[in-house]
Structure 1
């Protein structure tokens, strides 16, 4: 411990890094009934804590080592730290990155002057490639986590938290990949604040440290999930594991939905968007509060990175509400009769929909795919029971991965043969897009204005977070009532577009 304390105290991270703020998180604090602070490592020059350890290791290299250059394996953030440090020190840097690395991180390394080599799909494959080149070409290998000087560089975060806190926090939550960050923070904090708990957080599909601590030795995962790519490590470090055994109080594992919810939480408090690994500690903090029934405590979450691919935001936004237990995804069965959809909407009156999908089918029963906002898990359970009590068979799909990732985008299909025959005779199937004000009651106004003898054959609505709602609707209208239908469209007062000639309709619906 003394050796690491000395290393941390003399670490030269501030040649390149900045002391990041310890910001209060008022929304999270109020909602979770604890005093919560965020250690804002996302505000570093490379948007991650990793440059601390990389620079502290590289600044101690000899001039001969710097002339030969350095090489590193990285999922992104460590690579940026090495590249930025190399530019500061005037040496060559080769960064071996997984082919799955988000483009924003690859581009950032190149922009900083690093030579990027894309290889394999995981950190471990990159590490083997980098170390092979290291021996062949005389580079110095800069390990992303299992190096005492890298660990010491990351430990300066613990030193800053101590300096910035008016009194010791009750717990500090730290994301864990290879373990360098939590090793550095814990070895410093535990020497001076032994009562402060240090809690590690890992994704459920990349929990190498959790399993290693449980078994008492380092284990290697057969595979790791890549959503939180910054911590996608199959085997933790030797030095980091030893320090974690001595100084880490416990581990928490979280799923993808919880990480997405944490990204949203931090955005609401800071207007900054963390990457999945960067929000991992906050997701673990929230889960630990729920699991341990923690109240009235002083808690710190290390927001450790913000190198987010913009394309991921759509997925994260969809999963955040599920992660907060504020959305229910339900399969609801209704009679395939005129007016039954209206009855269901009346039962859900007052609730905000996130999704509503229906396609007419053969038979006497129809399945509606519904996303609806709820207050919490108890409210979700109560809603399901309410629908069952009203005679609507209902299946909760909120924890169904197939439904969450795929089904909500797949509801559709062609009109059943019996309905097609009706269309060829007395009815037309007409397809429209509508925009209506995104406010409670707008959907009910639409349904209530519908004539009882008109049948809805397609209905799809998704909440896009805008001030207008958008739906696609298919209707079966008797030819004799086409004038009435035209009056309905004009009187409704919503913008609409006819889509009968749209090739997407003819090909898929």
Structure 2
């Protein structure tokens, strides 16, 4: 283990050729909100706006030191890992071939090309990542390249541990708690192994999105398992199976120290950090901050570090994020109303709305009904309690309605 810490410190020193240590910043807003000393380790401020550059750099550096003739590196990624590999390929002057799914947003493709410039080639293969990964590994073998795994690699894990090295140096002491986002496990495995030696008194917590709990499933099973379904909203942490090497470092984590953050709640945190602090976080980058509410009773008066792992947020997703946040907070609901087809019926419904209620959606679903019409209605309000009052008025007036806000199947088809 001491070798691991030494390698992590060496990686940290070598990284200074690329960028200065990412800042560790005390956040006054969060500190006041939770009555604690809250610090953010701003990995969203790295050159590629995520910590992924660390593992890519360390792994490539070690391979080149062992094999200076290696000039081809290959990876598969739909986002942050691709950008990190591209940046590092350009730095070392080697060739990189980066496989990305055909469905990858153009913004991510263009950013990868900008970071890699003439040193990389992007190949779009497959609608799903599994297809992309298989194609990249097949090509790497044929071309005699070196494959750079996104997380299941010892050198990558050592590189990600540089986050912990910087964090302790910048803070000047060991924090009481560190909250870590978990996807494939590269970051959490690296930081855990380093902190166990250098700051064993620090309490570590691990956060996964509710729709991709690969660490929790592996801990329960005693070995990595492949999740049957994964919600890809938190794309930077939506991994169906935690890495084998990563789990070997995380296997002894207590189940009660692994938290699940609902995707819609993460959206409220993204908006809070953007609107209050001007900090742009991608969904995975907001995980650790979102989990503060889950540990608020434990952290009062303590020093807590949240690793904000990435800030590659596509602002075209902002309307979806706002929508999901409003639903989670109870400020927006969709319901189906059975409206009598008589003069004044619509006016009667509208008179029930309060001064803070706003119609965001109104659509007749059945226009041929003789006596009743089925209407899809979306209402936004400023206080969740307003819906209690509205639904009470509807029931008193004899209006039949169905709240479909939480009905995922109907919402997908109708909303």
Task: Give yes or no for TM over 0.5.
Answer: yes
Q: CA deviation at 1:136?
A: 1.9
Task: Report the TM-score when normalising by structure 1.
Answer: 0.71
Matching of residue 95 in structure 1 with residue 98 in structure 2: yes
CA distance in 2, matches of 1:2, 1:177: 25
Matches within 5 A, 1:136-285: 136-165=142-171, 168-246=174-252, 250-285=257-292
Q: CA deviation at 1:317?
A: 2.3
Q: CA deviation at 1:224?
A: 3.0
Task: Give CA-to-partner distance per residue, 1:208-233, whole Å, 9 cap, x none.
Answer: 22211111111123453332222233
Which residue matches 1:84?
Answer: 87
Structure number with higher relative contact order (C-alpha < 8 Å, ≥ 6 residues apart): 2
Matches within 5 A, 1:109-120: 109-111=112-114, 112-113=116-117, 114-120=120-126
Task: Give CA-to-partner distance per residue, 1:130-185, whole Å, 9 cap, x none.
Answer: 23222222211222112222112111212222233366444322222210011112
Change (3 A) 1:388 1:79: same
2:48 to 46, 49, 56: 46
SS in 2 for 1:59: helix
Q: Is the 1:183–1:240 Cα contact (8 Å) retained in structure 2? A: yes
SS in 2 for 1:201: strand
For structure 2, the residue ranges without an aligned partner over 5 or more in a row are none
CA distance in 2, matches of 1:141, 1:353: 53
Deviates more, 1:205-214 or 1:246-255: 246-255
Q: CA deviation at 1:193?
A: 3.4
Matching of residue 303 in structure 1 with residue 303 in structure 2: no
For structure 1, the residue ranges without an aligned partner over 5 or more in a row are 409-509
Change (3 A) 1:321 1:119: same
Which residue matches 2:333?
Answer: 328
SS in 2 for 1:246: coil
Q: CA deviation at 1:92?
A: 0.7
Q: CA deviation at 1:268?
A: 1.8
CA distance in 1, matches of 2:27, 2:343: 50
1:407 to 386, 407, 414: 414
Which residue matches 1:370?
Answer: 378
Matches within 5 A, 1:463-502: none
Change (3 A) 1:295 1:165: same
CA distance in 1, matches of 2:157, 2:107: 26
RMSD: 3.0
Q: Is the 1:186–1:247 Cα contact (8 Å) retained in structure 2? A: no
Q: Is the 1:334–1:368 Cα contact (8 Å) retained in structure 2? A: no
1:316 to 310, 317, 321: 321
Matching of residue 6 in structure 1 with residue 12 in structure 2: no
Task: Give CA-to-partner distance per residue, 1:23-64, whole Å, 9 cap, x none.
Answer: 344444555555543322111111111001111111223364
Q: Is the 2:72–2:96 Cα contact (8 Å) retained in structure 1? A: yes
Deviates more, 1:21-30 or 1:39-48: 21-30
Which residue matches 1:56?
Answer: 58
Q: Is the 2:26–2:38 Cα contact (8 Å) retained in structure 1? A: yes
Q: Is the 1:259–1:323 Cα contact (8 Å) retained in structure 2? A: no
CA distance in 2, matches of 1:32, 1:396: 34
Q: Is the 1:329–1:371 Cα contact (8 Å) retained in structure 2? A: yes
Aligned length: 405
Change (3 A) 1:273 1:324: farther
CA distance in 1, matches of 2:20, 2:69: 24
1:135 to 141, 165, 168: 141
CA distance in 2, matches of 1:31, 1:385: 34
Structure with larger Rg: 1
Q: Is the 1:273–1:308 Cα contact (8 Å) retained in structure 2? A: yes
Matches within 5 A, 1:326-405: 326-333=331-338, 335-353=340-358, 355-359=360-364, 362-364=370-372, 367=375, 369-375=377-383, 384-385=391-392, 387-388=394-395, 391-405=398-412
